[in-house]
Amino acid sequence: MPGSNDKLSVLGYGCMRLPTTVGGAASSLINKEKALDQIRYAIDNGVNYLDTAYPYHLGASESFLGEYVLKDGYREKVKIATKLPCMTIFKKEQIEEIFNKQLSKLQVEYIDYYMLHSMNGPSWERMLSLGIIDFMDNIRKEGRVKNMGFSFHGKKEDFIKICDGYNFDFAQVQYNIVDIHFQAGIEGIEYAHNKGMGIIVMEPLRGGSLVTKMPKSVEKIYKHAEIKRTPADWALRFVLNNPAVTLVLSGMNNMEHIKENIQVCSDSLPNGMSSAEVEILTSVKNEFDSLLQVNCTGCSYCLPCPAGIDIPAAFKNLNNFHMFSKANATAYHALYLGIQSKDGKAHWTSSCVNCGKCEAKCPQFIPVREKFKQVQKELETPLTKGMAAVGRLFIGNKN
Ligand code: SF4
Ligand code: SF4
């Protein structure tokens, strides 16, 4: 890690998708025996960075690490990373309270890598108003935190503002072969790196979609490439080829994948790809780009929309519909536009009042209203609307 003596493994273990007895990542019922075996195997084979967060597995991830994984001398073998759940913090006193709770759940005296969780422009401003700078100064001075950072899901310019707003040691960002310019993007990564910050990359496999839900045309490129590798192997190598990247996180819950990831990361070097490898990944990237329906970066400059439409979500769903799984994209469209709005009502793209404000603000010059026609045709079908209506009834919202 730049600026510290820590020698971190290039693969970090993400503890947000541990094996469970029921319910996946949304469950607190961690399959302790299996998860312990898997994490300890990774540690025994060189992984020395464990990433968790207060809400992972509904709060059970931190406790599981403290009660099981970090026992028997394993605390000394790893660096622990966790995050302050800023999205739920609205009063100053909550900050210290939650931080102490995290130390006690993890059963540690200090946290090696501590982050403000899921920062964006507004949440950073809110945390500033709650005195977060003094808090970060104090926990560092007292040795209760060794390295201070933030994880990010917001606009590029806000990423830069946050990097400049405090003497952070590192940042955690989303970066993969599809999301090169998304959120902080490669530009934000360069910026933070040039400031001497470490870069932790999350979602290198885009939640698994770069492995399990790939378009046929991309599968074909990999299949016919002279260099044979699995999609996961290619995706991890792509991230680690960037010399600004300190480590890549993978949320692992399958022993075969753990072994594969350890193997790939052990022989991936920054700028280590041959020109033949770069050529294959360029073809893959070009193929994904050709499937892209709308060049929306998710920056949200177009918001708020007077009709309450989540424009970036609509375009993300449209792209995912063509690049990955149609069923998933439809379900997410029902969720984001049909169920989860602030006022609890559906705001389909068909509710657009044609004001044009979004188009005037879009840095990508996207003809939003024109593109909405495609969203309506492909995603806002009677089936999607029916799913959303059922979802709203299920959560007790009859709007
Ligand atoms: S044109 Fe439609 S989508 Fe754009 S801001 Fe106006 S109402 Fe919202
Ligand atoms: S439509 Fe334009 S302004 Fe809105 S999120 Fe996409 S790129 Fe940004």
What distance in angstroms lies between residue 389's CA and the mean position of ligand 1's atoms?
23
Contact indicator for 171, 156 with CB cutoff of 8 Å: no
Task: Encode pLDDT of 322-336 as tens digits.
Answer: 988 899 999 999 999
Q: Give residue 399's pLDDT band: very low, low, confident or very high (50, 70, 90).
A: low
Indicate if ligand 2 lies below 6 Å from the C-beta of 242.
no
Tell me which residue has its CA closest to atom 8 in ligand 1.
Answer: 305
Please report the pLDDT score of residue 131 as a whole number. Answer: 97
Cα(195)–Cα(2) distance, integer angstroms: 10
Q: Phi-psi bin for 300: left (phi > 0), alpha (psi -120 to 50), beta?
A: left
Helices (H), the chain: 32-44, 60-64, 92-106, 121-129, 132-141, 156-165, 185-194, 209-212, 216-224, 231-240, 255-266, 275-291, 311-323, 326-338, 357-361, 368-378, 382-394
How does strand 49-51 pair with strand 79-84? parallel
Nearest ligand to residue 355 Cα? 1
Cross-strand bridge partners of residue 115: 83, 149
Whether residue 61 contacts residue 26, with contact meaning beta carbons closer than 8 Å, is answered with: no
Region 184-211 average pLDDT: 91
49: part of which helix (H) or strand (E)?
strand 49-51
Decide: 30 in ligand 1 pocket, CB within 6 A: no
Expressed in angstroms and rounded, the spacing between residue 249 Cα and the centre of ligand 2 is: 28
Q: Counting ligands in written order, which one lies closest to the CA of residue 358? A: 1
- Whether 30 shows a pLDDT value over 90: the answer reads yes
CA-closest residue to ligand 2 atom 1:
296
Task: Give, using CA atoms, the residue closest to atom 4 of ligand 1.
Answer: 358
Is the CB of residue 313 below 6 angstroms from any atom belonging to ligand 2? no
* Binding site membership of 366 for ligand 2 (Cβ less than 6 Å): yes
Average pLDDT over residues 116-129: 94
Write down the pLDDT at residue 307: 95
Query: Which residues on adjacent β-strands are paired with residue 12?
Result: 249
Name which of 292, 177, 172 is nearest 234 in CA terms: 177
Helix (H) / strand (E) element for 181: namely none
Q: What pLDDT score was predicted for residue 196?
A: 96
pLDDT in tens, 130-142: 999 999 999 999 9
The pLDDT of residue 397: 60
pLDDT at residue 93, rounded to an integer: 96
Positive or negative: CA dihedral 387, 390, 395, 396:
positive
Give the pLDDT confidence of 255-264 residue by residue, as tens digits: 999 999 999 9
Query: If DSSP codes are grouped into helix, strand and coil, which group holds residue 175?
Result: coil
More confident residue, 335 or 114: 114
Q: In percent, how much of the chain has pLDDT > 90?
A: 73
Residue whose CB lies within 8 A of the most ligand 1 atoms, among 300, 301, 350, 355, for a mutation test: 355
Q: What's the burial of 125, exposed, middle or buried (CB within 10 Å: 0-12/13-18/19+)?
A: middle
Q: How far is the CA of 308 from the centre of ligand 1 (A)?
A: 8
Rounding to the nearest 10 degrees, give the CA dihedral for residues 290, 293, 295, 299: -140
Q: What is the pLDDT of residue 73?
A: 96
DSSP 81: E
Residue nearest to atom 7 of ligand 2 (CA): 296
| Cα(88)–Cα(104) distance, integer angstroms | 19
Residue type, 74: Y
Q: What pLDDT does 208 receive?
A: 77
Q: What is the mean pLDDT of residues 17-43?
A: 89
The whole-number pLDDT of residue 325 equals 84
Taking the CA of 363 as reference, the closest ligand is 2
State phi, psi for 84 to the nearest 5 degrees.
-80, 125
The tokens for 325 are 């799984």
Residue nearest to atom 6 of ligand 2 (CA): 296
151 lines ligand 2 (CB under 6 A): no
Per-residue model confidence as pLDDT tens digits over 205-228: 887 778 877 888 999 999 999 999
- Geometric angle at alpha carbon 322, from 276 and 309, rounded to 5°: 130
- pTM of this structure: 0.83
State the distance from the centre of ligand 1 to the C-alpha of 359, rounded, in angstroms: 8
Q: Could you identify the atom of ligand 2 that is nearest to the CA of residue 300?
A: 5
Which pLDDT tens digit goes with each residue over 232-287? 999 999 999 999 999 999 988 889 999 999 999 998 889 999 999 999 999 999 99
Nearest to 381 by CA among 346, 339, 333: 333
Nearest CA residue ID for atom 2, ligand 2 = 362
CATH architecture of the domain with residue range 11-281? Alpha-Beta Barrel (3.20)
pLDDT in tens, 101-111: 999 999 999 99
53 contacts 41 by C-beta, under 8 angstroms: no
Atom nearest to 311 CA in ligand 1:
3
Q: Which residues contact 20 (CB under 8 A, 6 or more apart)?
A: 27, 29, 30, 31, 57
Residue ranges of the chain that CATH labels 3.20.20.100: 11-281
Among the bound ligands, the one closest to the CA of 349: 1
Asked whether 122 lines ligand 1 (CB < 6 A), one says no
Question: Is it the case that residue 192 has pLDDT exceeding 80?
Answer: yes
What does the mean pLDDT of the chain come to? 92
In the chain, % of residues over pLDDT 70? 97
DSSP-derived letter for residue 20 is B
Encode 269-279: b = buried (16+ Cβ within 10 Å), e = exposed: eeeebeeebee
